[in-house]
Amino acid sequence: MKMPRTTLAGLAVAAAAGCAGMSDQEATQRALEVMQASFSERGQAKLDRLNQDEAQKLCSIPPSVVPSKEVTERIEKANLASIRYPADGRLLGDWRQGERIAQSGIGKQFSDDPKVASGANCYACHQLSKAELSFGTIGPSLYNFGKLRGASEPIQRYTYGKVYNSQAFTACSNMPRFGHNGILTEQQIKDVTALLLDPDSPINK
């Protein structure tokens, strides 16, 4: 299922494994037990956040370990099935709201007020508009995302779907599943989709 490459961590584990006397499965189980005893619930962050779904379990691996084709397909199929497109059929919201959502990193932390809408924090990991110099590089640059692709219906559906559930298209993606996990509302996902695709959005200038 996994193809381990020799990493420093991998080597150290190989050395330690025998002595610590745990199989990989046992170590995974023991780590979870220790974590369950090491966190306490606070605010909106309850202990059930340590309960992993299938994708989280299968994706708790180093990036050097590539999941098998079978595992990849299983994750993507299940996540694709989770996407709920808007009932009104409209996928593009207001890019100005989308920009605000892209700038905000709050939401779902134990320190956040659950009544305040979450952000998507896109800029933490992606370049978007040219004007914002403070952007991260964990994900690819999205500058000119719509200009390069247009805003045809399939592109709109892909973009909305990718924000809704990134793992429908890339198993074990680093990107949060904003719709699937209830981080963003339907309207917020429309707004972010508009930020990416609207010709007037600063991303496409």
Partner 1 sequence: MLHSRRKVLKSGGGAGVLALLFAAGIVRPGDVLAQEWNQAAFSTKTVPEALRALGATGPAASGAIQIKAPEIAENGAVVPIAIESKLPGTESITLLIEKNPQPLAASFTIPAGTEPNVSTRVKIGESSDVYALVKADGKFYLAKKEIKITLGGCGG
Partner 2 sequence: MKPSSIEKLLAAAALAAAALYPAALVHSQSAVDEIAKYRQQLQDGNPAELWEARGEALWKQKRGPKNASLEQCDLGKGAGVVKGAYAELPRHFADADRVMDLETRLVHCMVTLQGFSFADATRRPFGAGTNRSDFEALGAWITAESRGVVMNVALRHEKEKAAYRLGEKMFYFRGGPHDFACATCHSENGKRIRLQDLPNLTEKTGAQLGYTTWPAYRVSQGELRTFQWRLYDCFRQQRFPELKFTSDASIALTEFLAHNANGAPFNAPAIKR
Site string for partner 2, 27-46 (x = CB under 8 A): xx-xxx-xx-xxxxxx--xx
> Which structure tokens are listed for 44?
């909106």
- Return the residue matching tokens 């989280």: 56
The answer to whether 107 and 119 are in contact (CB under 8 A) is: yes
Q: Looking at beta carbons only, is 55 or 91 nearer to partner 2?
A: 55
- Report 143-182 residues binding partner 2 (CB under 8 A): 174, 176-177, 181-182
Q: Looking at beta carbons only, is 92 or 195 nearer to partner 1?
A: 195
> Which structure tokens are listed for 65?
């370990």
Amino acid of residue 8? L
Helix (H, G, I), strand (E, B) or coil at 76: helix
Note whether 62 binds partner 2 by CB under 8 A: yes
CB of 42 to partner 1, least distance (A): 14
Q: Looking at beta carbons only, is 17 or 80 nearer to partner 2?
A: 17
Residues 6+ apart with CB under 8 A from 2: 61, 65, 66, 67, 68
For 42, phi then psi, to 5°, come to -150, 130
Among 61, 65, 66, 124, binds partner 1 (CB under 8 A): 124
Amino acid of residue 199? P
CB of 86 to partner 1, least distance (A): 27
Amino acid of residue 68? S
- Residue ranges that bind partner 1, judged by CB under 8 A: 103-107, 109, 111-112, 119, 121, 123-124, 133-134
